[in-house]
Amino acid sequence: MKKCFLIFLIILLITLIGMKVSANIIVDASNDVYHHSFSDNNWSWILTSGKTHIDISKISYSVSGGILTVIMELNGDIEIPGKASYTLYYNSTEASYTFIFVNRTGSASAMKIEGGFDFKIGEFTAEDNVLTVKVELFGAGIMDKFWGYSAEYLVDFSTIEDPNVLEYWGGWTPQFYSPWYTGIDEETDDETNGNGIEKKDEGKPDFEFCILLIVIGIYILYQKRKRNI
């Protein structure tokens, strides 16, 4: 009986490890929205504040059961009118994933080119200050690029032709994807990777290690119960 129980625990451990959920979070600083405006015969980027509805607090992704979940959280509630837009990009070694939300409408798509073109549509939800997207993954590709972008325009989003000659406010996470980013922190003059701070699994212990502890705990409880019978 004891031997059978140990075999069961080993099988359980292998199964749970096979169901591993991977996650990644990029936290962004507050009040880091930039205003693209025209003055003195020149277009420039100026740091601004108060645009909480496009001020990204963090973006994250997780993979479980072949489903990719991508989330954008803002410091303020999502703005519904068409002058604000929210975009997330997730590129793997096998496919590209693009998620856009504007004017009550979300678009979630995945596209694979290598090995034959294929296309998938995902699910998009928006509530308060959180945008959530779920889409089926192509294969088991490794994450290559992951970033988010939010913007507010002075005109309706659908009429925009060239953002380079248009006044608007924009936020990027991580900021090194932004058009104004130079790689130098303006306050410290130090090189930086933008205000995005990348964290894996939010500092939680390794998943397999946690499962191993659970299995050991089950085994100890089982042994105690046998002795008390």
Written as one string, the DSSP assignment of 169-180 is EEEEESGGGSTT
User: Which one of 3-12, 19-28, 132-141, 180-189 scores highest in mean pLDDT?
Assistant: 132-141
Confidence of residue 140 (pLDDT cuts 50, 70, 90): confident
3-state secondary structure of 81: coil
Give CA–CA dist 90/98, Å, rounded.
7
Q: Find tokens 């080119």 and name the residue.
A: 113
Q: How far from 183 is each of 1, 186, 188, 190, CA to CA, in Å?
A: 63, 9, 12, 8
- Asked whether the beta carbons of 120 and 138 are under 8 A apart, the reply is yes
> Within 10 A of 133 (CB to CB), how many other CB atoms are there?
26
Q: Please report where in the chains the tokens 């608007």 appear, as a residue.
A: 168
Residue ranges covered by each domain of the chain? 24-205
DSSP states along 192-205: -S-S-EEEEGGGPP
What CA–CA distance (Å, rounded) separates 20 from 210? Answer: 11
What does the alpha-carbon distance between residue 211 and residue 151 come to, in Å, rounded to a whole number? 42
Residues 6+ apart with CB under 8 A from 2: none
Structure token pair of residue 208: 């397999």
In this predicted structure, which of 80-94, 155-169, 179-193 has the lowest mean pLDDT? Answer: 179-193
pLDDT of residue 79: 79
In this prediction, residues 175-179 reach a mean pLDDT of: 83
Per-residue pLDDT at 173: 92
Q: What is the pLDDT of residues 38-89, one digit of tens each?
A: 877 888 888 988 899 999 999 999 999 889 999 999 999 987 666 888 999 9
> What's the pLDDT score for residue 225?
52
Q: Per 3-state DSSP, what percentage of the chain is helix, strand, and coil (rounded to 5)? A: 25, 45, 35
